[in-house]
Amino acid sequence: MKTMFALMAMTGLAIATNVSAQQAMDPHMAGMEHAAQPADAQGVGVIKAVDTTKGTVTLQHEAISAMGWPAMTMVFKVASPDLLSAAKVGDRVHFGLRPSGMGGTVTSIMPAN
Residue 49 lies in a domain: yes
Residue 101 lies in a domain: yes
User: Which comes out higher in pLDDT, residue 102 or 106?
Assistant: 106
Residue 8 lies in a domain: no
Q: Residue 31: left if φ>0, alpha if ψ -120 to 50, beta else—which one? A: left
Q: What is the CATH number of the domain that holds 49?
A: 2.40.50.320
Residue 77 lies in a domain: yes
Q: What is the SS3 assignment for 34? A: helix
Residue 16 lies in a domain: no
Residue 46 lies in a domain: yes
Residue 11 lies in a domain: no
Q: What residues does 77 pair with on adjacent strands?
A: 56, 105
Q: What is the pLDDT of residue 89?
A: 97
pLDDT in tens, 34-76: 445 557 899 999 999 999 999 999 999 999 998 899 999 999 9
pLDDT in tens, 2-38: 554 444 544 444 444 444 444 444 455 554 444 455 5
Number of domain units in the chain: 1
Segments forming the whole domain that contains residue 66: 41-111
pTM for the predicted model, two decimal places: 0.67
State which H helix or E strand residue 9 sits in: helix 2-25
Residue 95 lies in a domain: yes
